[in-house]
Amino acid sequence: MSLPIRKILFGVVVLAGIGAAGYELSKPELVPVDMATIESGELEVTINADGMTRIKDVFEVSAPVSGQVLRSPVRIGDEVVEGDTIVARIEPGEPAFLDERARMQAEATVAQAQAALVLSEANLRAAEADMNSAQRQFDRIYELHERGTASDSQLEQAEVALDVAAAQFDSALANKAMRESELAAAQAVLIEPASQNGNIERGSDCCIAISAPVSGQVLAIVNESARMVAAGTPLLTIGPPNDLEITVDLLSTDAVRIGPGARAYVERWGGDTALEAVVRKIEPAAFTKISALGIEEQRVKVLLDFVTPQAERPALGHNFRVYLRIVEWRGEDVLRLPISALFRDNGAWAVFAIEDGVAKLRPVEVGRRNTENAEVLGGLSAGDVVITHPSDRVDEGVLVVDRETLE
């Protein structure tokens, strides 16, 4: 092949390459996007919050008297029967140890009581002697009076003297008993705790046995070991496990949008399916709670009852954490738009709709919305296709293609 022909062929190839490159550069770009079709269906608007299960009627057993509570006869999770199962036993406490000053004062009090007792015994003997003398005098006057040699006044004086002596004897006798009691009380102060190998010795009989106030399960025990307690000290908690409710602290601005009877979904409780519940009560007073960010919030306690039978939630117990979605509003036939398609344009909501493979900016009017969908009030119709999660490559007039068709 001659040189001119080769040059001509080379020029043709170069021109063809340039033309192909120019065509590729001038061909419109197809942007892959995610698409969704506008359709009607059910829409629920919910208020979401973390809640906690609890037994409605929890009974806290406390010590009725001060003393030494023995080691707990029950364990957490044990079944108890009302009025039958013993849940705690309390014995009288041991006397306290005396320091040197207290012991010396107690010993001095004992010595004083002993001296007072000796004095009362001497007074008793003196009173007894006076009474015996008065009795003998009365007997002599009585005999003389019978013979007519003693007057009535003498007999009356002897009788009064005998009554006075008898009264003084009774007083001395009572004083002696009082002094004996004082001595016993003073000696009781000196009693020290009796111990052997570090363990307090007690009789087998218990002074107070506390039975279960209600049938159910033991939910918590403050301390299983034996210890000294004061009257009113909590010992354990009992409750029927089949009487669960849910409590949740909602913002006051959310609580006013729901009412008793509102449906709720219980999620993240550990099961595979969501449970159903219903709002029973919204407490009338709010309280202040500090959020994790340190912001003061007004919260309202809301109580819910389970609708799902217990057989479908056997693992749930007292103080278990759950996640709640309380239905604020529900529509049956609502034109729905994915939230991911919405964005703000000049202060209004807008979407990119697809017309003949071209992205078109379209303002929309939305109503109620949840975390997934929004209610379409205007700007779109059923069957319209919109772009979800539009990237910065999507703009008015851009050619787009469904990402799923490229995979």
Q: Which pLDDT tens digit goes with each residue over 306-320?
A: 999 988 998 899 999
Min mean pLDDT across 138-147, 173-182, 240-249, 284-293 is at 138-147
Give me the pLDDT at residue 150, please. Answer: 82
pLDDT > 60? residue 23: no
Give me the pLDDT at residue 206, please. Answer: 56
> Please, which pLDDT band fits residue 205 given cuts at 50, 70 and 90?
low
Q: What is the mean pLDDT of the chain?
A: 87
Q: What is the DSSP string of 308-369?
A: S-GGG-TT--TT-EEEEEEEEEEEEEEEEEEGGG-EEETTEEEEEEEETTEEEEEE-EEEEE
pLDDT > 90? residue 155: no
3 state SS of 34? strand
Give me the pLDDT at residue 15, please. Answer: 61
Contact 187, 194 (CB under 8 A): no
> Please, which pLDDT band fits residue 262 given cuts at 50, 70 and 90?
very high
Min mean pLDDT across 74-83, 154-163, 205-214, 338-347 is at 205-214
State the architecture of 27-43+333-406 in CATH terms. Answer: Beta Barrel (2.40)
3 state SS of 11? helix
pTM summary value: 0.66
Relative orientation angle of helices 100-147 and 152-189, to the nearest 10 degrees: 160
Give me the pLDDT at residue 16, please. Answer: 56
Share of the chain above pLDDT 90, in %: 64
User: Of 29-33, 223-227, 249-253, which has the strongest mean pLDDT?
Assistant: 249-253
Min mean pLDDT across 51-55, 78-82, 188-192 is at 188-192
Please give the class, per CATH, of domain 46-55+242-331.
mainly beta
Give me the pLDDT at residue 198, please. Answer: 38
Domain boundaries, the chain: 27-43+333-406, 46-55+242-331, 65-93+202-239, 100-193
Integer Cα distance of 210 and 231 in angstroms: 13
Q: Is 296 exposed, middle or buried (0-12, 13-18, 19+ CB in 10 A)?
A: exposed
Topology (CATH) of 65-93+202-239: OB fold (Dihydrolipoamide Acetyltransferase, E2P) (2.40.50)
Tell me how many degrees the CA angle 264-269-273 measures, rounded to the nearest 5: 70
Contact 47, 300 (CB under 8 A): no
Count of CA atoms in the C-beta half-sphere (13 A) of 195 = 11
Give me the pLDDT at residue 201, please. Answer: 41
Integer Cα distance of 102 and 87 in angstroms: 38
Give me the pLDDT at residue 197, please. Answer: 38
Integer Cα distance of 402 and 393 in angstroms: 14
3 state SS of 230? coil
Min mean pLDDT across 55-69, 178-192, 195-209 is at 195-209
Distances (CA, A) of 319 to 132, 162, 255, 398: 81, 80, 22, 55
Nearest to 255 by CA among 277, 278, 286: 286
Give me the pLDDT at residue 193, please. Answer: 66
> Please, which pLDDT band fits residue 148 given cuts at 50, 70 and 90?
confident
